[in-house]
Amino acid sequence: LVHGYVGTPAVDLPLKDGRFDIPGALGRAGLLTVTRDLQLKAPYQGVVNLVSSEIAEDIAYYLTDSEQTPSAMGLTTIPDEHGGIAVAGGFLIQSLPPANEEALDALMRRIKDLPPLAKMLLEGATPKEVLDRIFGDIPFEILGHQDVAFHCGCSRDRIEQALITLGVEEIRELAERAEGTTITCEFCREPYVFTPDDLFRLADERH
């Protein structure tokens, strides 16, 4: 499960060579901060400098440099003529101990010589076919398959629970607005409308 949101979703992002120009939007200077909940007292946080402002390259650099796990990553999203998504996909290759250094070096060379991931996907390559191109004559085993889908776990009940934490007085202040209150999920942008009656009910429950 991955949750993420863009702080400025309406950014004007012209295409470059038929792709979204992510470095053009992010800029060339900055930091990549990764926060992971390892079920310890506090979340673990790692920070590295951006090396290219390409998401895949910067995450691979973070994994290699900060977590000491040699990694290669490819990501692509190609828009269609209507502004939707024609294809999207990616791969993450990591070296876990005990690793064969010669095989690892050969694999990294193959990845550098690959045609663009976008080109392979636009030509209809399946995930298995992309793996075949990546590994070549290096044997590998597929351990499982999992469907990927967009899903957000937000719900009206969850939004209500968040509202309740505001406190009775603040909820009543919201309820006194004639138009009520609309709360939008920051992940999927689903709007949840609460009428004054809804908010007064929540305030009474909180009280």
pLDDT at position 106 = 85
What pLDDT is recorded for position 4? Answer: 66
Q: Where in the chain is the domain with CATH 3.90.1280.10?
A: 156-206
pLDDT above 70 coverage of the chain, percent? 95
Judge if pTM exceeds 0.85.
no
Res 73: pLDDT: 93
Confidence band for 5, pLDDT divided at 50, 70 and 90: low
Q: Say what the pLDDT of residue 3 is.
A: 64
Question: φ, ψ for residue 206 (rounded to 5)?
Answer: -70, -35
pLDDT exceeds cutoff 90 at 39: no
Task: Pick one of 3.55.30.10, 3.40.50.150, 1.10.287.70, 2.60.120.370 as the CATH number of 15-135.
Answer: 3.55.30.10
Please give the share of the chain, as a percent, with pLDDT higher than 90: 30
- Before 9, cis peptide (omega within 30)? no
Domain with CATH 3.55.30.10 in the chain: 15-135
Mean pLDDT of 107-117: 89
Tell me the pLDDT band of 129, cut-offs 50, 70 and 90.
Answer: very high
pLDDT at 131 over 90: yes
The predicted pLDDT at position 81 comes to 82
Please name the fold of domain 156-206: CBS domain Like (3.90.1280)
